[in-house]
Structure 1
Amino acid sequence: MRHRSLRTARQRIIGGLSVGLLATLGLAVPAAAHAPRTTEATAPASAPASASKAASGEGSALTPPMGFNNWNSTHCRAEFNEAMVEGIADIFVAKGLKDAGYQYVNLDDCWALPQRDADGKLVPDPARFPNGIKAVADYVHSKGLKLGIYTSAGTKTCDRAGFPGALGHERSDAQQFADWGIDYLKYDNCNNQGVDAKQRYPAMRDALKAASETTGRPIVYSICEWGQNKPWEWAADVGHLWRTTGDISDSWGSMLSIAKQNLPLAPYARPGHWNDPDMLEVGNGGMTDTEYRSHFSLWSVMAAPLLIGTDLRKATPETYQILGNREVIAVDQDPLGKQGSVVSSEGGRWVIAKQLADGSRAVALFNETDRARHIATTAAAVGLDHAPAYRLRDLWRHQDYNTAGAVTATVPAHGTVLYRISPDRRWASYPPAVELGGEGASLTEAGATAQVDTVLTDLGRTPARRVAVRLTGPEGWRIRAVSPTRAGSLPTGKKLTTRWRITAPADAEPGAYDLTAGADYRSPSGAKATARLVSTVHVVVPPPSGTSYASDLPWLSALNGWGPVEKDTSVGESAAGDGHPITLGGTVHARGLGVHAPSEVTYYTGGRCTAFTARVGVDDEEGAAGTVAFEVWADDTKVASTEALTNTDAAKAVTAAIAGAKTVRLVVTDGGDGVTSDHGDWADAAFRC
């Protein structure tokens, strides 16, 4: 699906052919006698019998597919064309992505003309693909790579231009794809005329199988029905992978929401059959590199398809470093084919463990909160048998340690530490694992002095020796230690706690600033080791006395399920500033916040405010589709909430007592029914201080 919410797609599903007419068609396909276009190569008359099983797709996608899809970076813009696609194939080879495991170069929507030809065949857009799709496939194959293509299980595809869908044309279209040398089909869900998914998707499976048997080339089948019909329960004998959620967008809130929807589905994944939480957004600019590492780590531990969604011609070295991390890729591509399972998730501190073919475990310590958090588990808790010690491999730092069994880290806000832990007779040759954590102020006002503690803990079976810690900050910040920064030796479980005084410059602008803690130490054999933690301190400004609209105050953080949080408008589409007047029940509100669930907007109130008020509901622009619920949190206490609201409900008045709270969080959830056009408005939102 291509759109911010299901609303747009549902409108398209209603359009086009009537259900009655489609029933009359009986999902029939055009006669197979239509000859392929003379501009495209035809299929061989027959394929060797030995190729029949492979051509059916059996044995394909035994690990999650890896590759590229253009949609997240180009959508339907003119830059999506033959030169781009072939250029991506070149980059796969030149940048080592092919060697790292990426193999599919996939075309998304808009590759065809809006109308079929006189024989009912699909016609590649000659402006985008002047040499045809077969020529592009040949080029991609010449690089040792594979080509994918897109269509929809409906009368038209999802783009507004309405390109031809495959409903009623399954056999003909599948044969064209096979004739062109296509290796992968993404089959979307728009304009499906209400035909049950369990009819539509097997029809294309059977068509692909029949077409592939004429060429001997299997086609991986990607079912993209957005999880609407719980495909994980029925699609294992239909496709190789199935979308479990709506579309991802390039935002922390969207990525987080989709990961949470996909994580519980671990029992359904296995070789050749994968849960698909949608394509990667790594490198598209809407998240930080820390958040993109979390995105990539989570997709890998979930055994998700890894389809690059950024334009690699413009990618930064940091993006290539994330996408090319072979140790993380190995977790995703592990041949055992297990999806990671949640061990714990209390307070947004996630432990996700994945069993690997060699008996080790990949363990993701994922921090969804907006401040550094201690996250801990043990070798036993992730399923390993007892051993005197274990090898602990940090897959982002590419370093080995020994641990007595603890799998622990202080994880930066929105960060993920990804370990591989296993019994290893050589454990004593690795330096001891340590946890470098921090405690104390995460908020300070300009010119004020705050206190921060660093805590270094030995987690290893061996002692850490000659330990030294340090803390640095931005230029102009004053940082000094007021307790010891060194220790001769830290045995297993022992800590070195250092207290620091930090002072932001008097002219520091409000915003987030990084403090970097570091530790140097040695193993008993004298080998050097280091630890590092980046934490964030916000320079804040107290709200003024009196009543202030929320849209006039700076927020500490703003997370949104789609697009940015908007001030004084609805959330609109995915770009900033594209919202509409906030409208609830026909009443337009000049002030407020427009959000899309799941959303969380946090304000600094510094203990100086007494009340928060707003009128809340689903914006009128969403029809009757959206369902949301609103919550107000004063520090860590929920002080106000609503039941689930739809567009048919009148706006609700919310009043929350927030006296003494340093921060206030405005939270919007999906109302318990999943994310569907969930545009929530905090109309007339105001603080009394």
Structure 2
Amino acid sequence: MVGALTAGLLCTAGLAAPVHAAAAAENADNTAPAPADGLALTPPMGFNNWNSTNCRAEFDESMVKGIADIFVEKGLKDAGYQYVNLDDCWALPTRDANGKLVPDPARFPNGLKAVADYVHAKGLKFGIYTSAGTKTCNDAGFPGALGHEYSDAQQFADWGVDYLKYDNCNNQGVDAKQRYTTMRDALLATGRPIVYSICEWGENKPWEWAADVGQLWRTTGDISDSWSSMLSILKQNLPLAEHAGPGRWNDPDMLEVGNGGMTDTEYRSHFSLWSIMAAPLLIGSDLRGASDATFEILGNKEVIGVDQDPLGKQGTVVSSEGGRWVVAKEMRDGSRAVALFNESGRAQRVTTSASAVGLPEARAYTLRDLWQHKSYNTAGAISATVPAHGTVLVRVAADPRWAEHPPAVELGLDGSPLLEPGAPAALTSTVTDLGRTPAERVSAKLTGPEGWTVKAQSPTTAKVVPTGKSLRTKWQVIPPQGTPAGPYDLTLKASYRSPSGTRVDSTVPIAVSVVVAPPSGTSGLGDLPWLSTTNGWGPVERNTSNGENSAGDGNPITLEGVVYDKGLGVHAESVVEYYAGGGCETVSADVGVDDEAQTTGTVAFEIWADGTKAASTGVLTTAMPAQPLTADVTGAETIRLVVTDGGDGSTWDHADWADAQLSC
């Protein structure tokens, strides 16, 4: 679609305004019945400190007040954020002589009532945390609420608490429904309206029973600040759409936007996808040091409007082939929010249509790009070349005013994105009119990094590009000899005019990779450069096990007591991609669950040659010795090493490609 988002996201065409009043009235009756308590009629929005501070010393009264100040000063309150919530470590490790909870006087010298009063004075709401067990989840063992539900709930109400996150640690085996229902009853007994967040990690399928217990329930384990963690949680939460609605929300955990473990492109995807899933939007970064880009993402009112739509529908998957996801959400005014999401490590064209996302047949539609805040018309196609890990988010409607907007135009680049230094590569740019109206005076320009040769081999302009047609320009691209292997951006620019004379300029970064063929003979894959990686926990590690979440924290690769000097340490779900250049024959490795996984962990291994699965294992467990795995990859341009979980979730799925070798 037309244009380019900052940090590499392509824009698509956009909706100028909500559909007309008649359509809104027609769809108003589709709103799910509101719960009698009136709580959380839209997904809660606010802040929780855990993802940025955990229990560190900076979690204190000053931080909480500072977040409340920023909500007001930066416009986040006006954008819809309400709750300023505390997580674990706010209390002393022991109760007082009367069995009451005691706020930590070092962190909160004025007590929590004073903090709540400060938050309330800003026109915001105050939240707190405890666990449905004898102790909370922190290793220090702060007191949980099991057996103290009514007393603790009354303390919370007396302090002015508006939101309770109720965790799942040290629950002593008490039935989940029982322990969460007891706290619900205790909160109701206080007479204070308190939003109740059930945090039992989806272990007992709360979406099936908790609609009359709390207002939201966690559907997954904890999120971490990594692409793979976000992606895994997204895939677990997406299938649960039927259970969401006003006052009953699937909760895929808090936002990581701004914590530094992902790119801004990935954070835009995170925020877009949480919004189209009607997920609670709880900021997890310390806003006192947040970047302008972080505030731009978190404060996007048009994206927030998708999350907060009063119809209360969670978006559903329209398609997901090849990592190209289309997720659509019905809106109260009859429009559809549509996310075009590219899971993969390369730019891909993601496409759907107005009819496929549930819109009625119409001559044309208006689309609103929710990141670019621009509007266009389309004949029905909704499409974009989406960069790696990117998401295009639009709102589409059968709006009779579609002709007021210029046509949507999609920019793309055909041809292999893998370029060898000094070798000419043939690429073709496309400027395609998706609109009902023609694009006029169309031009295209492709540029590369300094020193690269980029020459047009066919016309770069067209007087008119009609609906559904493209200006296709062939280019010769040559990276200089000696260009280091790695990713680079080409920039595709297009300009055109609408029939009314409105000029539209678009710029799209297209990622390519400079590659060098592996050497002849046999090489250890732990020593070769890779094209891309994704990993379920922390980064892929070279010649060590996965370890924990930080780079370089792995251990010697060990499978059932056998230690290997070389290989790759990964964690499901994982993909490691290499360039083979058509000159290699075999990939081999001993594979299994690393001994650091102890008694849990089940995984399966796959080797792919281009788009074909060349070899795989069954499910492997911690109790099994290393399994030899060899694949014929003759003639393949790329090779992918894939690890999936064994079907029971990815907890402790530490997997090894021990002594992994590529023969060329």
With the length of structure 2 as denominator, give the TM-score of the two structures.
0.93
* Aligned AA (1:61): A
Q: Confirm whether residue 495 of structure 1 aligns to residue 470 of structure 2.
A: yes
Q: 2:90 matched to which residue of 1?
A: 111
Summarize deviations over 1:642-680 as a string: whole Å, max 9, x none: 111111122211111111111111111111222222111
1:408-557 matches, cutoff 5 A: 408-557=383-532
Give the SS at the match of 2:642: strand
Moved more, 437-446 or 394-403: 437-446
Query: C-alpha offsets along residues 373-416 of structure 1, whole Å, 9 cap, x if unaligned?
Result: 11111111111111111111111111111111111111111111
Q: Which residue of 2 aligns with 1:601?
A: 576
> How far does residue 438 in structure 1 lie from its aligned partner after superposition?
1.1
Distance in 1 separating the partners of 2:166 and 2:466: 57
1:645 to 608, 616, 620: 620
State how far apart, in whole Å, the 1-side matches of 2:271 and 2:464 are.
36
2:541 to 566, 569, 583: 566
Structure 1 equivalent of residue 638 of structure 2: 663
* Paired residues for 1:272-311 under 5 Å: 272-311=247-286
Distance 2:588 2:36 in 1: 58
What is residue 407 of structure 1 aligned with on the other side? 382
Distance 2:421 2:139 in 1: 49
* Aligned mates of 2:36, 2:605 — CA distance in 1: 47
**Bigger RCO (CA 8 Å, 6+ sep):** 2
Equivalent residue number for residue 652 of structure 2? 677
Report SS of the residue matched to 1:116: coil
Amino acid at match of 1:79: E
| 1:200 and 2:179 matched | yes
Matched residue type, 1:584: L
What is the CA deviation profile of residues 4-44 of structure 1, one whole-angstrom value per residue up to 9, with x for unaligned ones? xxxxxxxxxxxxxxxxxxxxxxxxxxxxxxxxxxxxxxxxx
2:555 equivalent to 1:580: yes
The amino acid that maps onto 1:197 is A
Name the structure 2 match of 1:384.
359
Match in the other structure for 1:92: 71
Point out where structure 2 has 5 or more consecutive residues left out of the alignment. Answer: 1-34
2:80 corresponds in structure 1 to 101
Q: Alpha-carbon deviations, 1:233-254, whole Å to 9, x = none?
A: 1111111111111111111111
Which range moved further: 271-280 or 71-80? Answer: 71-80
Deviations 1:511-561 (A, max 9, x none): 111112121111100011233322211112222222221111111111111
The secondary structure found in structure 1 opposite 2:526 is helix
Instruction: Say yes or no: does 1:136 pair with 2:111.
Output: no
- Cα separation, 1, equivalents of 2:146 and 2:565: 45
Q: Distance in 1 between matches of 2:483 and 2:73?
A: 44
Alignment-derived partner of residue 145 in structure 1? 124
Aligned to 1:590: 565
Deviations 1:326-383 (A, max 9, x none): 1000000000000001111111111111000101000111111111111111111111
* Preserved contact between residue 410 and residue 533 of structure 1 (Cα < 8 Å): no
Segment drifting more, 528-537 vs 338-347? 528-537
Equivalent residue for 2:350? 375
Counterpart of 2:100 in structure 1 is: 121
Q: For residue 59 of structure 1, what is the aligned residue in structure 2?
A: 38
* Residue 444 (structure 1) shift: 1.3
Q: Where does residue 619 of structure 1 map in the other structure? A: 594
Alpha-carbon distance in 2 for matches of 1:86, 1:687:
56
Q: Deviation per CA, 1:212-258: give whole Å up to 9, x if none.
A: x1xxx311111111111111111111111111111111111111111
Aligned counterpart, 1:241: 216
CA distance in structure 2 between the partners assigned to 1:416 and 1:93 by the alignment: 29
Counterpart amino acid of residue 394 in structure 1:
D
Q: Which amino acid aligns with 1:97?
A: L
Rounded Cα–Cα distance in structure 2 between residues aligned with 1:685 and 1:115: 52
- Map of 2:165 onto structure 1: 186
CA distance in 1, matches of 2:226, 2:640: 19
Q: Choose which of 152, 159, 163 in structure 1 pairs with 2:138.
A: 159
Which range moves more in the overlay, 525-534 or 278-287? Answer: 525-534
Give a deviation string over 1:172-212, Cα, whole Å, max 9, x none. 1111111111111111111111222111111111111112x
CA distance in 1, matches of 2:478, 2:165: 54
Q: Distance in 2 between matches of 1:476 and 1:190?
A: 58
Within 5 Å, give how 1:351-370 maps onto structure 2.
351-370=326-345
- Once the two structures are TM-superposed, the CA of residue 57 in structure 1 deviates from its matched residue by 8.2
8 Å contact kept, 1:57–1:219: no
Query: Given the two structures, how large is their TM-score scaled by the length of structure 1?
Result: 0.90
Matched-pair contact (CA < 8 Å) for 1:151–1:187: yes
Residue of structure 1 aligned with 2:313, choices 332, 338, 362? 338
Name 1:227's counterpart in structure 2.
202
Tell me, yes or no, if structure 1 residue 396 matches structure 2 residue 371: yes
CA contact (8 A) 1:70 1:310 kept: yes
Q: How far apart in 2 are the matches of 1:196 and 1:572?
A: 33
CA contact (8 A) 1:617 1:649 kept: yes
- Provide the rounded CA distance (Å) in 2 between the counterparts of 1:370 and 1:435: 20
Report the counterpart of residue 69 of structure 1 in structure 2.
48
* Whole-Å separation in 2 of the counterparts to 1:464 and 1:607: 41
Unmatched 5+ stretches in structure 1: 1-55
